[in-house]
Protein backbone atom coordinates (compact mmCIF):
# COMPACT_ATOMS: atom_id res chain seq x y z
CA UNK A 1 0.00 0.00 0.00
CA UNK A 2 1.14 3.52 -0.70
CA UNK A 3 0.18 6.75 0.95
CA UNK A 4 0.97 10.43 1.25
CA UNK A 5 1.22 12.20 4.59
CA UNK A 6 -0.27 15.56 3.71
CA UNK A 7 1.60 18.60 5.08
CA UNK A 8 4.23 16.36 6.71
CA UNK A 9 7.60 18.03 7.20
CA UNK A 10 9.69 15.16 5.84
CA UNK A 11 9.99 12.87 2.83
CA UNK A 12 6.76 11.01 3.67
CA UNK A 13 4.86 13.96 2.20
CA UNK A 14 5.64 12.31 -1.15
CA UNK A 15 3.92 9.23 -2.51
CA UNK A 16 5.66 6.21 -1.01
CA UNK A 17 4.74 2.65 -0.19
CA UNK A 18 5.20 0.01 2.48
CA UNK A 19 4.91 -3.76 2.71
CA UNK A 20 2.61 -3.74 5.71
CA UNK A 21 2.08 -6.78 7.90
CA UNK A 22 -1.02 -6.95 10.09
CA UNK A 23 -1.24 -9.24 13.13
CA UNK A 24 -4.67 -9.78 14.66
CA UNK A 25 -5.46 -11.18 18.10
CA UNK A 26 -9.00 -12.02 19.17
CA UNK A 27 -10.31 -13.21 22.51
CA UNK A 28 -13.33 -15.09 23.74
CA UNK A 29 -14.41 -18.31 25.35
CA UNK A 30 -13.71 -21.49 23.39
CA UNK A 31 -16.84 -23.17 22.05
CA UNK A 32 -17.91 -25.96 24.41
CA UNK A 33 -20.75 -27.44 22.35
CA UNK A 34 -19.77 -31.08 21.82
CA UNK A 35 -21.73 -31.20 18.56
CA UNK A 36 -19.93 -28.21 17.04
CA UNK A 37 -17.13 -28.85 14.55
CA UNK A 38 -15.53 -25.71 16.04
CA UNK A 39 -15.47 -27.17 19.58
CA UNK A 40 -12.49 -25.84 21.52
CA UNK A 41 -12.00 -22.82 19.24
CA UNK A 42 -12.70 -19.20 20.08
CA UNK A 43 -12.96 -18.67 16.33
CA UNK A 44 -11.84 -20.68 13.33
CA UNK A 45 -8.62 -19.12 11.97
CA UNK A 46 -10.02 -19.64 8.47
CA UNK A 47 -12.95 -17.35 9.31
CA UNK A 48 -10.72 -14.69 10.87
CA UNK A 49 -8.37 -14.77 7.87
CA UNK A 50 -11.36 -14.34 5.55
CA UNK A 51 -12.51 -11.24 7.44
CA UNK A 52 -9.05 -9.67 7.26
CA UNK A 53 -8.56 -10.64 3.62
CA UNK A 54 -12.00 -9.51 2.42
CA UNK A 55 -12.22 -6.24 4.33
CA UNK A 56 -8.61 -5.08 4.74
CA UNK A 57 -6.18 -6.82 2.38
CA UNK A 58 -8.35 -6.87 -0.76
CA UNK A 59 -9.27 -3.22 -0.23
CA UNK A 60 -5.90 -1.74 0.73
CA UNK A 61 -3.37 -3.97 -1.07
CA UNK A 62 -1.71 -2.11 -3.95
CA UNK A 63 -3.84 0.97 -3.25
CA UNK A 64 -2.89 4.59 -2.75
CA UNK A 65 -4.45 6.06 0.40
CA UNK A 66 -5.00 9.81 0.63
CA UNK A 67 -6.45 12.13 3.24
CA UNK A 68 -9.75 13.66 2.07
CA UNK A 69 -8.17 17.09 2.69
CA UNK A 70 -5.67 16.49 -0.12
CA UNK A 71 -5.84 19.04 -2.94
CA UNK A 72 -8.92 18.10 -5.01
CA UNK A 73 -7.00 18.73 -8.25
CA UNK A 74 -4.33 16.25 -7.18
CA UNK A 75 -6.97 13.67 -6.29
CA UNK A 76 -8.68 14.08 -9.67
CA UNK A 77 -5.34 13.82 -11.50
CA UNK A 78 -4.40 10.66 -9.63
CA UNK A 79 -7.83 9.10 -10.26
CA UNK A 80 -7.10 9.26 -14.00
CA UNK A 81 -4.06 7.01 -13.56
CA UNK A 82 -4.87 4.74 -10.62
CA UNK A 83 -7.34 1.91 -10.25
CA UNK A 84 -7.14 1.68 -6.47
CA UNK A 85 -7.37 5.07 -4.81
CA UNK A 86 -8.79 5.19 -1.30
CA UNK A 87 -9.79 8.51 0.23
CA UNK A 88 -10.02 8.49 4.04
CA UNK A 89 -11.11 11.15 6.52
CA UNK A 90 -7.82 11.03 8.40
CA UNK A 91 -4.08 11.38 7.89
CA UNK A 92 -3.12 7.85 6.71
CA UNK A 93 -0.43 7.22 9.31
CA UNK A 94 0.04 3.72 10.65
CA UNK A 95 -1.56 4.87 13.92
CA UNK A 96 -4.73 6.00 12.17
CA UNK A 97 -4.77 3.05 9.77
CA UNK A 98 -4.58 0.51 12.60
CA UNK A 99 -7.49 2.24 14.39
CA UNK A 100 -9.52 2.14 11.18
CA UNK A 101 -8.63 -1.53 10.65
CA UNK A 102 -9.75 -2.29 14.22
CA UNK A 103 -13.12 -0.71 13.57
CA UNK A 104 -13.54 -2.64 10.32
CA UNK A 105 -12.54 -5.99 11.83
CA UNK A 106 -14.65 -5.51 14.97
CA UNK A 107 -17.75 -4.95 12.86
CA UNK A 108 -17.34 -8.37 11.21
CA UNK A 109 -16.47 -10.56 14.20
CA UNK A 110 -18.99 -13.05 15.58
CA UNK A 111 -20.95 -11.90 18.61
CA UNK A 112 -18.97 -14.02 21.09
CA UNK A 113 -15.53 -12.90 19.83
CA UNK A 114 -13.73 -9.68 20.76
CA UNK A 115 -10.85 -7.96 19.08
CA UNK A 116 -8.00 -7.93 21.60
CA UNK A 117 -5.24 -6.17 19.70
CA UNK A 118 -3.72 -5.40 16.33
CA UNK A 119 -0.09 -4.89 15.40
CA UNK A 120 0.57 -3.17 12.08
CA UNK A 121 4.16 -3.38 10.87
CA UNK A 122 4.93 -0.54 8.46
CA UNK A 123 8.59 -1.47 8.00
CA UNK A 124 10.85 -4.23 9.32
CA UNK A 125 11.64 -2.07 12.37
CA UNK A 126 8.51 0.07 12.90
CA UNK A 127 5.04 -0.91 14.00
CA UNK A 128 1.91 0.47 15.63
CA UNK A 129 -0.24 -1.42 18.12
CA UNK A 130 -3.90 -1.03 18.96
CA UNK A 131 -5.37 -2.55 22.13
CA UNK A 132 -9.09 -2.86 22.81
CA UNK A 133 -8.54 -2.01 26.48
CA UNK A 134 -7.22 1.42 25.46
CA UNK A 135 -10.10 2.22 23.13
Tens of pLDDT, residue by residue over 53-104, are: 999 999 999 999 999 999 999 999 999 999 999 999 999 999 999 999 999 9
Long-range contacts from 90-93, C-beta under 8 angstroms, 24+ separation:
91/5, 91/6, 91/67, 92/3, 92/4, 92/5, 92/65, 92/66, 92/67, 93/5, 93/128
Is 81 tagged catalytic?
Answer: no
Question: Which residue among the candidates 12, 55, 83, 133 is catalytic per the annotation?
Answer: 12
2-134 carries CATH number 2.70.170.10: no
Question: Which residue among the candidates 108, 122, 129, 133 is catalytic per the annotation?
Answer: 122
Q: What is the pTM of this model?
A: 0.94
pLDDT tens per residue across span 49-67: 999 999 999 999 999 999 9
Is 122 tagged catalytic?
Answer: yes
Is 34 tagged catalytic?
Answer: no
Contacts of 69 (CB under 8 A, 6+ apart): 6
Amino acid sequence: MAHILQDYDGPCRNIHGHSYKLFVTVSGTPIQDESSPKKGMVMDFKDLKAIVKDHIVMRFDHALVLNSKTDPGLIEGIKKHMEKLIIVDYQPTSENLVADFASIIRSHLPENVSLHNLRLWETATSYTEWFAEDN
